[in-house]
Amino acid sequence: MSDPMQNDPRLLVHAYVDGELDPAHALELERQLARDPALAAERERIDALRQVIKERLPPLPVPLALARRIDAAVGSSRTSARAFSASPSWRALAASVIVAAGLASSATWFEMRPAPAEATADMVVASHLRALMAPQPIDVVSSDRHTVKPWFNGRVTEAPRVVDLSQEGFPLVGGRVDVIGRTPVPTLVYRRRQHLISLMALPSGQSRIGMPSERTISGYHIVTWTEGGVTYWAVSDVAVSDLQAFAKAFREAPA
Amino acid sequence: MAGNEDDQARFRRVVLPHLSDAYALARWIVGNATDAEDVVQDACLRAFRGINGFAGGNARAWLLTITRHAAFTWLGKNRPAAMVGVDDLEEVERKELDRGLPMEGRETPEAALIAKADANRLEVAIAQLPVPFREALVLRDVQGLEYREIAEVIKAPIGTVMSRLARARNRLIAGIAAQEGVGKT
């Protein structure tokens, strides 16, 4: 930064509150903050502004109509027309069935490298979003776990654990098959008020129990944990506390 | 069997997780939801056509760069007056200074007052920022990008990101003070 303006503490204090100053500059700025009340007041104003923006202007979810329009536009601009129906959920389902058929014929196929967690998280959010934008976000619609669980037979290698969480405020809505990486995985769909929660069950290849961890990708929260050789990914736009409560309820529910 | 990921699958994996970021940026640049939807759709089509050009770096910054470009194209067509260059901006600020008009950073409200600003006022104040300041502020304080990501999106050095962000915040703070009737007598 050769521009003399950019050594101005009134400018650098912004980078300081953003955590963007290198340690040497940060230390120097802290010294200046300690001896310059006007600068310290400036820092408080900036902090207050950042905080109030974060609280009052949270990121907006994408309107579903827009997501559908994009899906349609991208779908129709394909050069190689395929004989899939116009419904994206049918396309997704057809694709997953093709992959599943390939899977059944090659036993070694399952020993795929686990996708890096970040890439998996992106795919989990993409699948959730894509399901939301489909005319019907679920392939099997039922609040009865004895209907949902058998539906997965033949569609994925192992039907997921399906539990009833209606007492906890998360009624079951249904299920679908998502493709994460190249693996068709069972996804259960639960509801929290008007929000859908997708719960994907990915084979983890390890039997140890991993405690829940969470992250956020463009406003969608993800809570993930490992249990019984399965890594569960719960994704939704509900409040993160609700999603944690959901994960807890699912883990504690009797099978 | 799934061989190479096809374009549509790639689009889904790379673009869809960042759709809400694209929408938010478009909305803040063009100023309303309906036009923002058109801009995002345009950006997504561009992203889809260029999906093979995405080298696998920061997908969010990549999509936001395309979205920003689409938004500017829209502004140029529909709101040419909003397309203030940074040079023009500095000129405007110099004139404001000469005429003794309220300038950024002149009014110094208490932090507690800023903390009470309501959503509508904030939105209006942000919407009134010139585009180069507004986009820096939105990318950082609404969308949470790091300086180097913002630099990538707006194609400017990190020092420029810092100074635009500082000026955007100072203007907002002064704007809040003016609304609340403090700092000026």
Across A90-94, A115-119, B129-133, B155-159, least confident range: A90-94
**Distance in angstroms (rounded) separating the CA atoms of residues A202 and A194:** 26
Q: Which residues of A touch B13 (CB under 8 A)?
A: 119, 122-123, 126
For residues A191-209, average pLDDT: 83
Global ipTM: 0.86
- Which pTM does this prediction carry? 0.63
- B158 or B85: which carries more pLDDT confidence? B158
A28 contact partners, CB below 8 Å, separation of at least 6: none
A210-217 vs A140-141, strand pairing mode: unpaired
**Distance in angstroms (rounded) separating the CA atoms of residues A53 and A47:** 10
pLDDT confidence tier of residue B86, bands split at 50, 70 and 90: low
**Residue A142: count of CB within 10 angstroms of its CB:** 15
Give residue A169's region: left, alpha or beta (phi > 0; psi -120 to 50): left
Q: Is A171 on the interface with B (CB under 8 A)?
A: no
Q: Which of A51, B125, B182, A20 is nearest to B133 (CA)?
A: B125
**Kind plus residue range of the DSSP H or E element containing B75:** helix B59-78
The alpha carbon of residue B162 is apart from the nearest alpha carbon of chain A, in Å, by: 7
Give the chain B residue whose CA is nearest to the CA of A43. B111
Tens of pLDDT, residues A171-183: 998 999 988 877 8
Q: Which residues of A touch B105 (CB under 8 A)?
A: 10
Residue A146 predicted with pLDDT over 50: yes
**Distance in angstroms (rounded) separating the CA atoms of residues A104 and A97:** 11
**In this complex, do B141 and A53 lie within 8 Å of one another by their Cβ atoms?**
yes
Query: Which of A41, A52, A102 minimises the CB distance to B122?
Result: A52
